[in-house]
Structure 1
């Protein structure tokens, strides 16, 4: 799904930009927070590393095994991209380690956090101007 978006799309999601993650609270209102996002174009997956105790993780966990609808977005001037899909929380050590490596490649080495988990979004729709 993302492999047909082209080099500009891939390059944009590899550049260092602050992003936002939008999840939905139990009352139906959006919860938008700044995050770092990595995108695996081949797998069609966006990943956010975070503490397992965060509100965003609680919102995703509330959806059960099927996860919840979520979106990540980044903007740079006129260029922007939003990736939408279903988010789940992954805790497996190898998944967390892989996400940390990807984060380090795009941003910087993350601080040590023994409670770290990964919010993984299987991308169903990509919008934007890149």
Structure 2
């Protein structure tokens, strides 16, 4: 099923659960790159956030393609939800700090603090799932 934002209570509850997640980006040649990730969801702004470093393939893919479309997917058995939208990568300290704060709140530990820490911010415009 495809939904429009804002999400209903069932989708929001599923997004608050801790399950396997992937982020799909497009390489410069247009082929998909799928990486396991942890992400946070901000239902008020329709933003999904993934912590990474600027040197990782997923960040480089987004940086190489302005207004890059991406998809983050969470699954648990037969239940799943995919959030699609345009992604940006930021190393702005305030935005990275917000990403770290949300990550820590969801996963009860901070993300690894590697050099070049960045936040991928996905402005979600399409939601599909079975939850």
SS in 2 for 1:46: strand
Instruction: Count residues with an aligned counterpart.
Output: 127
TM-score normalised by length of structure 2: 0.91
The CA deviation at 1:6 is: 1.4
Measured in 1, the distance between the counterparts of 2:78 and 2:130 equals 8
Who is 1:82 aligned against? 82
Who is 2:116 aligned against? 115
List alignment gaps of at least 5 residues for structure 1.
none
1:91 aligns with 2:91: yes
List alignment gaps of at least 5 residues for structure 2.
none
Measured in 2, the distance between the counterparts of 1:96 and 1:127 equals 27
Asked whether the equivalents of residues 38 and 48 of structure 1 are also in contact (C-alpha less than 8 Å), the reply is yes
SS in 2 for 1:75: strand
Structure 1 residue ranges, 4+ long, deviating more than 6 angstroms after superposition: none
Who is 2:9 aligned against? 7
Measured in 2, the distance between the counterparts of 1:11 and 1:37 equals 14
The CA deviation at 1:57 is: 0.7
Who is 1:61 aligned against? 63
Asked whether the equivalents of residues 19 and 36 of structure 1 are also in contact (C-alpha less than 8 Å), the reply is yes
Measured in 2, the distance between the counterparts of 1:23 and 1:61 equals 11
The CA deviation at 1:26 is: 1.4
